[in-house]
């Protein structure tokens, strides 16, 4: 990308394939295995962008392309958050595609991070699995819904989805960035676990060394997080118990003092 004679430009690789939007239009809701594979590859792209402090700002089915051999490409970098923002945008300017825009992006906030792209990927994932976008209506209504309205319940639109997959999509689309997945790596690890569960339902459990190691690593991290949460709960309960005992001691002492007087 660059600037030539006062005009900005960027060039992209030519992709011989179809977009995910084409797949949805042709096939309707996509198979779980295909969706998981696509999202995992997009997360690898987001990982790379995050390493270079780039926010895509327009993750959507039409910008995700699949080649003839199944390789997924993330394209269209015309909306990326970059050093050119100060020249091209005014404070409060909103860019992005309304159907997939994050709440903070819809508000025109500056200094977005990868969690905004994670929300848009969650909205894209919702569309891939249900064949429907999150919200309907005018652009302004849709953007307001992203900011204020809870997403439709995906399990009511498609009954065969694993509970963990529904939970993942819901977490990706939390209104507050702090409540979402904080990095593409976190999504990849959960998808690795989910991929094995989905494959197991078909009687074919992946057993490659890398997949097994990924599962073990993800489980260790999950257990460590549970232990931290449990320690915090125990500590909080200990403090509450201590405060309660102190309160009783003070009350008894006050009662005894009153009797003595």
pLDDT digits (tens, 9 = 90+) for 112-122: 999 999 999 99
From CA 32, how far away is CA 164, in angstroms rounded? 12
pLDDT digits (tens, 9 = 90+) for 144-195: 999 999 999 999 999 999 999 999 999 999 999 999 999 999 999 999 988 8
Residue 94 CA neighbour count, 13 Å, CB half: 15
pLDDT at 203: 43
pLDDT digits (tens, 9 = 90+) for 17-41: 999 999 999 999 999 999 999 999 9
From CA 205, how far away is CA 3, in angstroms rounded? 51
Give pTM, 2 decimals: 0.72
pLDDT digits (tens, 9 = 90+) for 41-57: 999 999 999 998 889 99
The encoded tokens of residue 224 equal 């460590």
pLDDT digits (tens, 9 = 90+) for 218-259: 666 767 777 787 888 788 877 887 777 877 778 777 777 777
Residue 105 CA neighbour count, 13 Å, CB half: 29
pLDDT at 120: 97
pLDDT at 71: 94
pLDDT band, residue 96 (cuts 50/70/90) = low
58 catalytic per annotation: yes
What is the distance of C-alpha 50 from the center of its chain?
14
CA distances from 184 to 85, 151, 174 (A): 24, 21, 15
Give the list of residues 6+ apart from residue 99 with CB closer than 8 angstroms, or none: 60, 123, 127, 133, 134, 135, 142
For 2-206, CATH number out of 1.10.510.10, 1.10.150.120, 1.10.580.10, 3.40.640.10 equals 1.10.510.10
pLDDT band, residue 67 (cuts 50/70/90) = very high
| pLDDT at 212 > cutoff 90 | no
Catalytic option among 58, 99, 117, 145: 58
Tell me the domain boundaries of the chain: 2-206
pLDDT digits (tens, 9 = 90+) for 130-144: 999 999 999 999 999
pLDDT band, residue 205 (cuts 50/70/90) = very low
> What is the maximum span of the chain, computed from C-alpha positions, in angstroms?
94
């Amino acid at each position: 990308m660059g600037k030539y004679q006062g005009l900005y430009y960027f060039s992209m690789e030519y992709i011989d394939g179809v977009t995910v939007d084409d797949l949805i239009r042709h096939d309707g809701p996509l198979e779980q295995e295909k969706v998981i594979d696509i999202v995992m590859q997009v997360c690898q792209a987001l990982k790379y962008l995050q390493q270079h402090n780039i926010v895509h700002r327009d993750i959507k089915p039409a910008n995700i392309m699949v080649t003839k051999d199944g390789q997924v490409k993330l394209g269209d970098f015309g909306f990326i958050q970059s050093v050119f923002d100060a020249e091209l945008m005014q404070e409060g300017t909103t860019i992005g595609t309304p159907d997939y825009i994050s709440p903070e992006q819809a508000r025109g906030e500056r200094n977005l991070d990868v969690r905004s792209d994670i929300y848009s990927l969650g909205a894209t994932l919702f569309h891939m699995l249900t064949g429907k976008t999150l919200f309907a209506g005018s652009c302004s209504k849709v953007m307001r819904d992203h900011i204020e309205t809870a997403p439709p319940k995906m399990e009511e639109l498609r009954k065969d989805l694993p509970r963990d997959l529904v939970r993942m999509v819901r977490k990706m689309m939390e209104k507050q960035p702090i409540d979402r997945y904080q990095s593409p790596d976190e999504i990849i690890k959960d998808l690795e676990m989910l991929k094995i569960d989905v494959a197991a339902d078909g009687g074919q459990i992946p057993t490659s060394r890398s997949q097994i190691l990924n599962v073990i690593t993800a489980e260790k991290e999950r257990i460590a997080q549970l232990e931290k949460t449990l320690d915090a709960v125990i500590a909080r309960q200990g403090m509450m118990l201590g405060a309660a005992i102190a309160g009783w001691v003070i009350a008894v002492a006050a009662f005894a003092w009153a009797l003595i007087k």
